Amino acid sequence: MKLRKLAVTASLAAIGLSAALTAPATYAAEEQFFPVLAYRTGAYAPNGAPWANGYVDYLKLTNARGGVNGVKIIFEECETGYATDRGVECYERLKGKHGGATVVQPLSTGITFALTEKAPVDKIPLVTAGYGRSESQDGSVFGWNFPLIGTYWMGADVLIQHIAKKEGGFDKLKGKKIALVYHDSPYGKEPIALLQERAKMHGYELSLLPVAHPGVEQKATWLQIRQNKPDYVFLWGWGVMNSTSLKEAQATGYPREKMYGIWWAGAEPDVKDVGDGAKGYNALAMQHGAEQGSKVVKEVLEKVHAKGQGTGPKEEVGQVLYMRGLISAMLSVEGVRAAQARFGKGKRITGEQMRWGLENINLDQKTLDAMGFGGVMRPVQTSCLDHMGSAWARLHTWDGKKWNFSSDWYQGDEKVLRPLVISTAGKYADEKKIVRRTADDCKK
Amino acid sequence: MAFFLETLLGGLMSGMLYSLVALGFVLIFKASGVFNFAQGAMVLFAALAMARFSEWIPGWLGMDNLFLANVLAFAVAVVVMFVVAWLIERLALRYLVNQEGATLLMATLGIAYVLDGVGQTIFGSDIYKIDVGMPKEPVMMLESVFEGGILINKEDFIAALIAALLVISLSIFFQKTATGRALRAVADDHQAAQSIGIPLDRIWVIVWCVAGITALVAGIIWGSKLGVQFSLSTIALRALPVVILGGLTSVPGAIIGGLIIGVGEKLSEVYLGPYVGGGIEIWFAYMLALVFLLFRPQGLFGEKIIDRV
């Protein structure tokens, strides 16, 4: 009898425990969930980890500041290894957790391509600050993609503007040779359309040199560069590919001063191992560079790292990719703030409300200064039709020890960019049978 | 013509570096019949040990001599690789004597994952530097013969010489020493080797130690070229076509295979690449290996296996 009672009690306890474990997770109404798709292992870890550290540190800083009008940010990291299949798996795993994801930032153009069709179904905005599909700037077609403050077309456009300025005008580009050394992936192929468009306009010769993942073997590529002697080399690499390119340039005697990288090829992990060999190499700064002296970095050190809650090494706080992650997080947090201003301060917002928030970000210089981003970046104003919000960039140059800004500010030329964005987005809309959003849709 | 020669020489030198990694595969297969999928992970592990100890030792000992720091780091890395070899034998291989080749292959796959993970946990996953004083600037040769001369990468040239030296030493070790003969006997038949008194456990530790040192040399050269980071472990994938081509049991085969693959992929990328959109050098090596597998499965120098029914 005793044994039977014990068995019944144990069974009931087991049922209760399993019910508790399998019941939908409860979440506090004043919490907002941010999945963090990151890569801290594998071939791209040296570049992925600092971005993730900056991203997570800013979320912690937001909580240390009291949350967004009292709404705390909760987050969970998932390792993608920069692989599209694992990225999609992470997205599927996290999208419904803690009451649903607020926003997803995949940190991979390949993963972005894969998630672009999922986001509208799940109603979760994709923020791809400085990467992703360039035509997704057109919010009337890509309602859920937000390539905030930079697309690859904009980056390529700024690079062409810069070398035209150096040469003494766009007309001087005629007959010049530009080689694009790119990661053979959706990311690396992104700038080709814009560079070809500009080549038609200015008459320069564009040669395309793909490098297979992960980019450690480039000898044949650089032998071709040595043979063709291009006037400029644009580098669209990621991870170890960037430092390998610089080493091969050194080994084949190609001047680093004539090399220009995209903003994902212009951080400390790309050059520190090459040291003096990379001296003179230029890269785009996606507005910010290394910003150890900025107010926001000092605040992160004081409110997060000094309390033992820092995510990565303290000495890397403020480095280029750390700042990219930090700014990416800030833009999403400001999306939440904008959404709360309309849908209820101090309230948890939904994915659809977050989209509205991201379409109504308005960070003027005064606000940026107050947030500690003075000198780091320029104002950002998004809209339903413009999901980028800012088209400014500048260049920085490696002096063997650190990155220094080396140009004025440039703005992506809307006269060139807009038609390309509209026509390419239009083709996508036709192919996928997407009805463009109207002004009324934008108000929702 | 000068450009063709440059491409050819570049390919030959890259090929020697592939051979260095391929040697690790050949050594272990030749001596134990195991296709060691963990060779790439061993290269990464060894390079991480070398890079980190050369960074830590000057701090620990309070010295400023780069050469001495490198020598000490190399010695410590050798010890680390010996310990790794001993642990692999002790924890994995000991229990797999006389098992099927596929079982052993799967075990080495597991070892690869463990080494990748443990290596990065102990030593970190950032990019680290190995500075053994390899020259980075190119030199121009035959300037009087060809306009503009032929560009030679000094670093690759020195690396190729080191690889050649290592191959010669290993060939002598296998052919001329008693231990080398014992290793070959074990590879032929575990049980037969045991029955004539060859201690299998010790032989396996020795061969994994030798493979560990080869991995260390490969790791230092590749690490000095590319920086020490996770991608080093993928270098092993570049060596796979080399061993298929050269034969899994032949040390000279690894060298010839490496040279053919190195030259083949560079020439194909430069001369065929532009017609098919470029980026073909990696799959071209595998295509070449596939063709060899069709017509000569044992590779150029591998032993032909004949089973009597």
Note whether A201 and A320 are same-domain residues.
no
Mean pLDDT of chain B: 86
Q: Does residue B160 surpass a pLDDT of 80?
A: yes
| Partner residue opposite A41 with nearest CB, options B10, B125, B137 | B125
Q: Is B55 on the interface with A (CB under 8 A)?
A: no
Q: Which residue of A has its CA nearest to B5?
A: A223
- Non-local (6+) Cβ contacts of B71 within 8 A are none
Note whether A197 and A54 are same-domain residues.
no
Rounded distance between C-alpha atoms, residue A151 and residue A194, angstroms: 11
Q: Which residue of B has its CA nearest to A276?
A: B136
C-beta separation of A279 from A254 below 8 A: no
Rounded distance between C-alpha atoms, residue A82 and residue A191, angstroms: 20
> Is A43 within the bounds of a domain?
yes
Residue with tokens 């003494």: A168
Chain B residues with CB inside 8 Å of A51's CB? none
Q: Does residue A15 surpass a pLDDT of 60?
A: no
Backbone angles phi, psi at A292, to 5 degrees: -60, -25
| Predicted local distance difference test score (pLDDT) of residue B149 | 79
pLDDT confidence of A29, banded at 50, 70, 90?
Answer: low
Helix (H) or strand (E) segment spanning residue A181: strand A177-183
Q: Which residue has the higher pLDDT, B171 or A192?
A: A192
Rounded distance between C-alpha atoms, residue A87 and residue A81, angstroms: 8
| Predicted local distance difference test score (pLDDT) of residue A390 | 96
What is the domain range of residue A218?
152-289+396-407
| Predicted local distance difference test score (pLDDT) of residue A9 | 53
Chain A residues with CB inside 8 Å of B129's CB? 273
| Predicted local distance difference test score (pLDDT) of residue A11 | 52
Note whether A210 and A197 are same-domain residues.
yes
Which residues in A have their CB inside 8 Å of a CB on B? 40-43, 45-46, 49, 184, 208-212, 214-217, 219-221, 223-224, 226-227, 239-240, 243-244, 247, 250-253, 269, 272-273, 277
| Partner residue opposite B14 with nearest CB, options A184, A219, A239 | A219
Q: Is B157 on the interface with A (CB under 8 A)?
A: no
Task: Tell me whether residues B279 and A219 touch, CB distance under 8 A.
Answer: no
Cα-only R_g, chain A? 23
> Is A21 within the bounds of a domain?
no
Chain B residues with CB inside 8 Å of A268's CB? none
pLDDT confidence of A2, banded at 50, 70, 90?
Answer: low
Chain B residues with CB inside 8 Å of A246's CB? none
Q: Looking at residue A437, what DSSP letter applies?
A: P
Note whether A131 and A211 are same-domain residues.
no
Q: Which two tokens stand for residue B214?
A: 């080869």
Nearest residue to A160 via CA among A396, A416, A404: A416
The nearest CA of chain A is from the CA of B54 a distance in Å of: 15
- The DSSP bridge partners found for residue A177 are A205
Helix (H) or strand (E) segment spanning residue B188: helix B178-188
> Is A15 within the bounds of a domain?
no
Q: Domain count of chain A?
A: 2
> Is A200 within the bounds of a domain?
yes
Q: Which residue of A has its CA nearest to B280?
A: A212
Q: What is the mean pLDDT of residues A241-259?
A: 94
C-beta separation of A71 from A31 below 8 A: yes
Q: Residue B280 carries which side chain, given as an amino acid letter? A: I
Rounded distance between C-alpha atoms, residue B21 and residue B163, angstroms: 10
Task: Tell me whether residues B151 and A226 touch, CB distance under 8 A.
Answer: yes
| Predicted local distance difference test score (pLDDT) of residue B142 | 78
Task: Tell me whether residues A252 and B151 touch, CB distance under 8 A.
Answer: yes
- Which B positions 170-229 lie with beta carbon below 8 A of chain A? 225-227, 229
Tens digit of each residue's pLDDT (9 = 90 or more) over A267-303:
999 998 888 899 999 999 999 999 999 999 999 999 9
Task: Tell me whether residues A43 and B234 touch, CB distance under 8 A.
Answer: yes
Q: Is B103 on the interface with A (CB under 8 A)?
A: no
C-beta separation of B293 from B37 below 8 A: no
Chain B residues with CB inside 8 Å of A277's CB? 136
Domain boundaries, chain B: 2-295
Q: Which two tokens stand for residue A107?
A: 């940190």
Note whether A194 and A271 are same-domain residues.
yes
Q: Which two tokens stand for residue A167?
A: 């040469």
Mean pLDDT of chain A: 92
Rounded distance between C-alpha atoms, residue A278 and residue B279, angstroms: 24
Task: Tell me whether residues A216 and B234 touch, CB distance under 8 A.
Answer: yes
> Is A23 within the bounds of a domain?
no
> Is A24 within the bounds of a domain?
no
Give the best residue of A223, A245, A315 to mutate against chain B (max B CB count within 10 A): A223
Number of CB pairs, chain A paired with chain B, less than 8 A apart:
104
Helix boundaries (H) for A183-273: 186-189, 192-202, 219-228, 240-252, 268-271
Rounded distance between C-alpha atoms, residue B271 and residue B178, angstroms: 48
| CB-neighbour burial class of residue A286 (10 A; exposed 0-12, middle 13-18, buried 19+) | buried
CATH number at residue A375: 3.40.50.2300
| Predicted local distance difference test score (pLDDT) of residue B191 | 80
Note whether A300 and A433 are same-domain residues.
yes
Nearest residue to A270 via CA among A57, A91, A48: A48
| Predicted local distance difference test score (pLDDT) of residue A417 | 97
Note whether A321 and A215 are same-domain residues.
no
Note whether A262 and A165 are same-domain residues.
yes
Note whether A318 and A285 are same-domain residues.
no
Rounded distance between C-alpha atoms, residue A383 and residue A376, angstroms: 22
Three state DSSP letters for B11-56:
HHHHHHHHHHHHHHHHHHHHHHCCCCCCHHHHHHHHHHHHHHHHHH
Q: What is the mean pLDDT of residues B59-88?
A: 93
Tens digit of each residue's pLDDT (9 = 90 or more) over B189-248:
778 888 888 888 888 888 889 889 989 999 999 898 888 988 888 877 788 889 888 888
C-beta separation of A129 from A152 below 8 A: no
| ipTM surpasses 0.85 | no
- The DSSP bridge partners found for residue A290 are none
Note whether A180 and A284 are same-domain residues.
yes
Task: Tell me whether residues B229 and A244 touch, CB distance under 8 A.
Answer: no
The nearest CA of chain A is from the CA of B299 a distance in Å of: 24
Rounded distance between C-alpha atoms, residue A263 and residue B189, angstroms: 57
Helix boundaries (H) for B62-153: 66-91, 101-123
Chain A residues with CB inside 8 Å of B277's CB? 208, 210
The nearest CA of chain B is from the CA of A38 a distance in Å of: 14
Q: Which residue has the higher pLDDT, A394 or B232?
A: A394
Backbone angles phi, psi at A35, to 5 degrees: -70, 145
Q: Is B277 on the interface with A (CB under 8 A)?
A: yes
Q: Which two tokens stand for residue B106?
A: 């799967």
Q: Does residue A200 surpass a pLDDT of 90?
A: yes
Chain B residues with CB inside 8 Å of A184's CB? 279
| Predicted local distance difference test score (pLDDT) of residue B181 | 85
| Predicted local distance difference test score (pLDDT) of residue B25 | 87
Lowest mean pLDDT among B11-15, B169-173, B239-243: B169-173
Count, in order, helices (H) and strands (E) of chain B. Answer: 12, 2
Task: Tell me whether residues A227 and B3 touch, CB distance under 8 A.
Answer: yes
Q: Residue A387 carries which side chain, given as an amino acid letter? A: H
Task: Tell me whether residues B269 and A221 touch, CB distance under 8 A.
Answer: yes
Note whether A196 and A344 are same-domain residues.
no
Task: Tell me whether residues B153 and A251 touch, CB distance under 8 A.
Answer: yes
Rounded distance between C-alpha atoms, residue A104 and residue A37, angstroms: 8
Q: What is the mean pLDDT of residues B37-45?
A: 92
Rounded distance between C-alpha atoms, residue B132 and residue B289, angstroms: 34
β-strand pairing of A410-411 with A392-398: antiparallel
Nearest residue to B118 via CA among B90, B84, B93, B79: B84
Chain B residues with CB inside 8 Å of A250's CB? 136-137
| Partner residue opposite A210 with nearest CB, options B230, B235, B279 | B279
Tens digit of each residue's pLDDT (9 = 90 or more) over A47-80:
999 999 999 999 999 999 999 999 999 999 999 9
Q: What is the mean pLDDT of residues B281-290?
A: 86
Task: Tell me whether residues B153 and A240 touch, CB distance under 8 A.
Answer: no
> Is A186 within the bounds of a domain?
yes
Rounded distance between C-alpha atoms, residue A142 and residue A119, angstroms: 10
DSSP characters over A58-121: HHHHHHHTTTBTTBEEEEEEEE-TT-HHHHHHHHHHHTTGGG-BS-B--S-HHHHHHHTTTHHH
Chain A residues with CB inside 8 Å of B11's CB? 219
Assigned CATH for B2-295: 1.10.3470
Chain B residues with CB inside 8 Å of A46's CB? 125-127, 229
Chain A residues with CB inside 8 Å of B10's CB? 219-220, 223
Of chain A, the percentage scoring pLDDT greater than 90 comes to 85
Tens digit of each residue's pLDDT (9 = 90 or more) over A210-238:
998 888 889 889 989 998 999 999 999 99
CA atoms lying within 13 Å on the CB side of residue B212:
28
Note whether A235 and A307 are same-domain residues.
no
Three state DSSP letters for B260-271:
HHHHHHHHHHHH
Task: Tell me whether residues B279 and A46 touch, CB distance under 8 A.
Answer: no
Backbone angles phi, psi at A180, to 5 degrees: -105, 110
